[in-house]
Structure 1
Amino acid sequence: MPKTLSRTLKIHHPKVGVVHEVRHGVAFVNFPGNPAESAVRARSTIPVPADAAGRDAVLIFEEGDPRRPIILGLLQTPEKLVLSADEEIALKCGKASLTLTRAGKVLIRGAYVLSRSSGVNRVKGGSVEIN
């Protein structure tokens, strides 16, 4: 892109763009008003998962330069919400917690734990201990 274009075309407000692809942990985005002929490499304030292609992303632009997008976040779809982490995900509220670990452990703790089902409620495992 010519230098004069980046000096004259500034974007000073957030835009919603689309993640075109993620290669080796680097996201490439497209957005309305993109002066480039293809998706632009973007930095990000969040980890962008490898399967984010096609997802809407909120973008800002460093110094208003459309060649330098920064992903602030990915818009959530109502059909699916995926939370991911390299080591552990923990949900906590008061005395209750739910922890998922990289090793595949699911830890549920609370002062009162209820499991209810309108259908079959199965407990399966290599061994099952009660009390």
Structure 2
Amino acid sequence: MGKVRDRIEGVVIGQFLGFDDGGPLVVFPGNPQEKALPARSLAELSSDMIGQEVALLFEDCDPQKPLIVGRIVEPAKKSSGAQVFRDGERVRIHAEERLELRCGKATILMEADGRITIRGTYVASHASATNRMRGGSISLN
């Protein structure tokens, strides 16, 4: 853990480890105990943030009273890969140029220009109602 201090002034970067009795637990350099300490928080925390770095201040400079003032975030970067969005009801995958799904000899390829290619050794289409095929032109075989 490092050197234990009697007073901690200024911001310390620690790590959010989870919740205990509904309150957040943190560890940080200079921690006076060999275990995580309960903290108070100015920032909203959730279980998906466990393990992330947080900025800590200390009430009355007391190392036994950590206060989470926020979490450390990386600067926004231009994403070079696909982005996945989940809201509990649906999953959306966004790619800039091409999205490809593969499993064995089967492939679904979606291009930015709107072209969709489905390849496989056997492709089946089933519908309990009308199965429509529409397009500017349709080429069979």
Secondary structure of the 1:83 match is: strand
Which protein, 1 or 2, shows the higher relative CO under an 8 Å CA cutoff with sep ≥ 6?
1
Any unmatched runs of 5+ in structure 1?
16-31, 40-55
Q: Output the CA distance in 1 between the equivalents of 2:126 and 2:15.
A: 52
2:110 equivalent to 1:100 = yes
Structure-1 residue corresponding to 2:25: none
Give the whole-Å Cα distance in 2 for the aligned partners of 1:115 and 1:11.
Answer: 51
**Identical positions, percent:** 27
1:115 to 120, 125, 131: 125
Work out the CA distance in 1 between the residues paired with 2:84 and 2:18: 13
Q: Which residue of 1 is the match for residue 41 of structure 2?
A: 33
SS at match of 2:15: coil
Gaps of 5+ in 2: 1-7, 20-39, 56-69, 75-82
Computing the radius of gyration from Cα coordinates, the structure with the larger value is: 2
In 2: Cα distance, 1:14 partner to 1:100 partner? 40
Task: Report the RMSD for the aligned CA atoms in angstroms.
Answer: 3.6
Whether 1:90 and 2:100 are equivalent positions in the alignment is: yes
CA displacement, residues 25-73 of structure 1 (integer Å, 9 cap, x when unaligned): xxxxxxx9245xxx9xxxxxxxxxxxxxxxx8933534x4334135xx9
In 1, Cα distance between equivalents of 2:117 and 2:18: 39
